[in-house]
Structure 1
Amino acid sequence: MSQLFWQAAQDFRAARRAADVEHVLARLSGRSNELLSYEEVRKKLHATAIHPQGVRDIPLDAIIGSEGRYTDFTRTFLPKQESDMERWTRVNLAVQRPAGLGPIEVYQIGEAYFVRDGNHRVSVARQLGATYIQAYVNAVETSVSLTPDTGMAELILKAEYADFLKSTGVAEWLPDVNFELTIPGHYWKLEEHIDVHRYFMGMNAEREISPAEAISHWYETVYLPVVRVIRERGLLRDFPTRTETDLYLWLLEHRAELTQTLGWEVATEEAASHLTAEYSPHSRRLAARIGEHIRAVLTPDTLSAGPPVGSWRAEQGQVGSELALFPRILVPFQDNQAGWQAVEQALSWAAREAGQIRGLHITAAGEPAAAGLKEQFARRCQEAEVLGQLSITSGDVTQLIYDRSRWVDLVVISLTHPPEPQPLARWNSGFRSLISRCPRPVLAVPGPARPLRRALLAYDGSPKAREALFVAAYLAGRWNISLAVLTVMDPGPEMAEILADAQRYLAAQDCCAAYHNASGPVAETILRTAASLDSDLLIMGGYSLTPWLEIVMGSTVDQVSRESDRPLLLCR
């Protein structure tokens, strides 16, 4: 045996050992190390034509399959069979001769190649450290392309995509749009969306709708608006391994689930925000979910301080925005006089905001809603010319209101059970717990609905009072209502600075206001001033102390809510 032959045989044995190691690693990692069958790929991708491209150098790493020898080599073209030793060794010797061997022949699909002739030459070349090899290239025409990283799982997806393109004709009418999915078995959902859309188009037009017309209309009116939300909200950053079409399907399904759970229609933008907050694998989102879960486990609801002060305002933007601040209003109510008074106040507010109300009626477990409740709610909304939706459910009242509040911009509740003066009663107060935890402003309604023409802002310069100042400036400017600002504290530099702070802010927002200062018991002074000015809306910051101290010591908010006969807007 010549030295060259002996060395070539050693190369083969090294390649065989490497093949065995690659097989073990593939089993451990769960990733396939198999070559792809060209014939199987060709059928799955519906190849339509082959175009010879001549001879050129192609990257060895881009060869991912074979026409006839795909079971004889690993994905990296290491030999699997000991019986291949003689042929592999002779090819090795021939390659190293000065004359060498001629080009191999391959099929090209996208950026990937499949060997038609020359499998052993590819194996030897890779073992000898080559990175390119000469090949006769035959380009295969398919509706989807492959990359060098395409494996069997990806091939299944590519094949499903090719079937989708062929059955729908999407590639013909929308050639520049990529509808690829990363999860197998979901293309039928896209087809169903198109078919259903075509059916209803035909119903409305009272004629047969062509596939081309249906696809174009579905793309423009259904698919593209959802994708715009995906892009505007940056969902691809939160879900980097997904495609826009993945997120289109996921977002629509998530919106449908939320609509069923909440009992009212959920906008695509709302569903997108909830999807990222609840399911994004991004470290920031994940940390927020873990932190919220830990706080929920360790902190009783009655001691929860709620989200950080100002977080709601950060979501809303600036006062001068052309957008309404309260387009979505939640009004939980019972079928009694106080409940319907809260509904009427919510409708009045929604009408001024050109918004909508989302009614919430909570019953005891297993108890049906009162007869005619939905009809009466719908009638009142219609009379007020306000869009309204009613959800009827059962469960813990405070928790349900808190859970639903994140879907709206304002919560309107009946002020029938304000916190009592005793600490134990404050501990058990659902109203106090809601005001502490609710991430949105709360409008507490103690009686019949008022027209809300004159507002009184109780301002002490605290962080939550500044949130109330933000809302007061919005209402004065947007609604053109009369605004008075009251500061209750002993006269001195601190009072002057607090009033000056409010004046500067309101002047910057082009808001006019009357300014009052007084000393004495805070709650009594607020209520007395509201009565003397005939204010029909009080605006205050929420609880300023920690829940423990509020429960033990009581607060101005508690006293005002117990004694006020006019709506009280509490801002956090």
Structure 2
Amino acid sequence: MNRNPDYHLAVQDFQSAHLRAKLQGVLARITGRSNELLSYEDIASKLKLQGRSDKGIQTIPVDAIIGSVGRYADFTRTFLPRRAGDLQRWANVKTALDPAGVGLQPVEVYKVSEVYFVMDGNHRVSIAKQEGWKTIEAHVIEIQTDIPLTPDVQPDELIVKAEYADFLEQTGLNRTQEILDLRITIPGGYQKLLDEICTCRCQMEQEDQTACSLQDAAESWYRDIYLPFAEAVRERGMMRWFPDRTITDLYVWMTEHRGDLEKELGWSIRPEAAAEVMVQSKSRRATAADSKIGSWRKARLLNRYSEHLFRDILVPVGKTAESWDALEQAFRIAHREEAHVHGLHTVSTKEELNDPEAIAIQNQFQRFCEEEKIQGALAVEVGEPTQKILDRSTLTDLIVMKISYPPSTGIKLLASHIRTLITRSSRPILAIPGGVSNLNHALLAFDGSPKSKEALFVATYLAEQWKTELTILTGL
């Protein structure tokens, strides 16, 4: 029988820790939050871990140790001892331990992303955790992975992470040089991404008339579709409406609803615009934020240097021939900006939606777009023209419209409401009083107001990118 008083204290500490392990188990069942120590073997299988490198002796954070190789069932997530039979071994290790930890043999661990799994030294880690140590010496072998793991990861989250690993391997995105962040928090999302990539692959094969690998299609999807979406979401601060979710979650949500939205609007819209509309439908605060003067400029600050500023152009079209001048102007801009052109024709009653005249306008608009080789479509809506333009403008970057005096009927009626549009629209408006312009010269009246700052933003973009000659008029 061991008469060492330190050993008896260690036995008492073990009994206390063992009791707390039982209490943690009860609490875990009540809350539904797992207190299980993670199995390295399970993680290695699900995340397809491969490749390793010896990092030598390092000082590692104790709280980042979340699993074990082979002994995951013997301890809780916080390394409290579960087995009463571990008493003697646990107490002997603690008795031999210097209070300051000096001379402690380094434990051996696998490092996976930001977390560690114990190969040898489970009792030492258990005691270190109970003693409140912040760090411990360890011989570290790092295992390569593309999947992020953090100390707070839960077992049920590993299902999604396993899907992530499968997705990266299947698409070949784990072999690219880019640093990817396609985290999803809800199971099943990666299949939807894979469906998107397969659609992209079919389109590429049709356009190029040649076979395309899934990896090439995935890289094209990531570069040309997902990244612009992610950048727009970040720039516009959309994620503040979705706490505890990721940008990829929002993308998956958008893909599920984009088709219905396009059918409802009668337009083909970009993923980031679809997300913006859906965010607004969920939150009045989001709608108010996007309608605020200056919101469009702030969301496009980076675009003016990295890409075209006007990606989507709205053109109200009426029954009169002169209303089509705005469309011609929009085509001029669309060619320079590689933009989509979206037409809007408003009618007073639902019966007029299928009126031959409205259908003829829609067909004529489509014919003009095809002749100009511009992507576009015209939607016919029932309602007050000014309000419908304002509603649709949030999907676009520029409103181009014909202004005729004196006010009359149809599109001319808008001239009497131009002040309302200018006051309430968060998007820039290009009013066409006469013929089509190449925008070679621009005159800016600047008074320091929010609207004049918006105009200055557009004018300086035209001066920089289009080489438009700019004259600024201001008063003292």
Q: Which residue of 2 aligns with 1:408?
A: 393
Question: Does the Cα contact within 8 Å between 1:226 and 1:268 map onto a contact in 2?
Answer: yes
Partner of 2:200, secondary structure, is helix
Larger radius of gyration: 1
Residue-by-residue CA offset, 1:291-348 (whole Å, 9 max, x unaligned): xxxxxxxxxxxxxxxx9xxx6766677xxx9989x942567xxxxxxxxx65767545
> Deviation at 1:480?
5.1
Residue-by-residue CA offset, 1:144-171 (whole Å, 9 max, x unaligned): 3423222213323322222112111112
Q: Which residue of 2 aligns with 1:48?
A: 50
Question: Does the Cα contact within 8 Å between 1:12 and 1:85 map onto a contact in 2?
Answer: yes
Question: Does the Cα contact within 8 Å between 1:94 and 1:100 map onto a contact in 2?
Answer: no
Residue-by-residue CA offset, 1:531-569 (whole Å, 9 max, x unaligned): xxxxxxxxxxxxxxxxxxxxxxxxxxxxxxxxxxxxxxx
> Deviation at 1:78?
0.7
> Deviation at 1:456?
8.4
Question: Does the Cα contact within 8 Å between 1:350 and 1:356 map onto a contact in 2?
Answer: no
TM superposition score normalised by structure 2: 0.69
2:314 to 303, 306, 328: 328
Partner of 2:379, secondary structure, is strand
Structure 2: give runs of 5+ residues left out of the alignment: 298-303, 332-340, 396-400, 436-442, 448-476
1:218 to 211, 218, 221: 221
Q: Distance in 2 between matches of 1:56 and 1:266?
A: 52
Cα 1:3–1:450 change in 2 (3 A) is: closer
Question: Does the Cα contact within 8 Å between 2:403 and 2:412 map onto a contact in 1?
Answer: no
Q: How does 1:479-518 map to 2 (within 5 A)?
A: 479=433, 508=445
Cα 1:348–1:288 change in 2 (3 A) is: closer
Partner of 1:203, secondary structure, is helix
Q: Which residue of 2 aligns with 1:105?
A: 108
Quick one: which amino acid aligns to residue 5 of structure 1? Y
Q: Which residue of 1 aligns with 2:231?
A: 228
2:365 to 363, 370, 381: 381
Residue-by-residue CA offset, 1:193-217 (whole Å, 9 max, x unaligned): 2222222212222222234433333
Q: Distance in 2 between matches of 1:141 and 1:383?
A: 55
Number of residue equivalences:
405
1:139 to 136, 142, 149: 142
Residue-by-residue CA offset, 1:154-194 (whole Å, 9 max, x unaligned): 32332222211211111212442332223222112222222
Residue-by-residue CA offset, 1:506-549 (whole Å, 9 max, x unaligned): 99479xxxxxxxxxxxxxxxxxxxxxxxxxxxxxxxxxxxxxxx
Q: Which residue of 1 aligns with 2:280?
A: 277
> Deviation at 1:60?
1.6
Cα 1:183–1:382 change in 2 (3 A) is: closer
Q: Which residue of 2 aligns with 1:540?
A: none
Q: Distance in 1 between matches of 2:183 and 2:394?
A: 37
**1:191 correspondence with 2:197:** no
Cα 1:188–1:401 change in 2 (3 A) is: farther
Quick one: which amino acid aligns to residue 314 of structure 2? R
> Deviation at 1:368?
11
Quick one: which amino acid aligns to residue 248 of structure 1? Y
Q: How does 1:503-542 map to 2 (within 5 A)?
A: 508=445
Q: Distance in 2 between matches of 1:199 and 1:456?
A: 48
Q: Which residue of 2 aligns with 1:20?
A: 22
Cα 1:8–1:377 change in 2 (3 A) is: same
> Deviation at 1:32?
1.6
Q: Distance in 2 between matches of 1:53 and 1:409?
A: 53
Question: Does the Cα contact within 8 Å between 2:34 and 2:155 map onto a contact in 1?
Answer: yes
Cα 1:441–1:94 change in 2 (3 A) is: farther
Q: Which residue of 2 aligns with 1:532?
A: none
Q: Distance in 1 between matches of 2:444 and 2:154?
A: 65
Q: Distance in 2 between matches of 1:214 and 1:449?
A: 44
Cα 1:187–1:449 change in 2 (3 A) is: closer
Quick one: which amino acid aligns to residue 392 of structure 2? W
> Deviation at 1:43?
0.9
Question: Does the Cα contact within 8 Å between 2:37 and 2:67 map onto a contact in 1?
Answer: yes
Q: Distance in 2 between matches of 1:456 and 1:37?
A: 71
Superposed CA RMSD: 4.7
Q: Distance in 2 between matches of 1:103 and 1:449?
A: 80
Partner of 2:33, secondary structure, is coil
Quick one: which amino acid aligns to residue 433 of structure 2? W
Q: Which residue of 1 aligns with 2:34?
A: 32
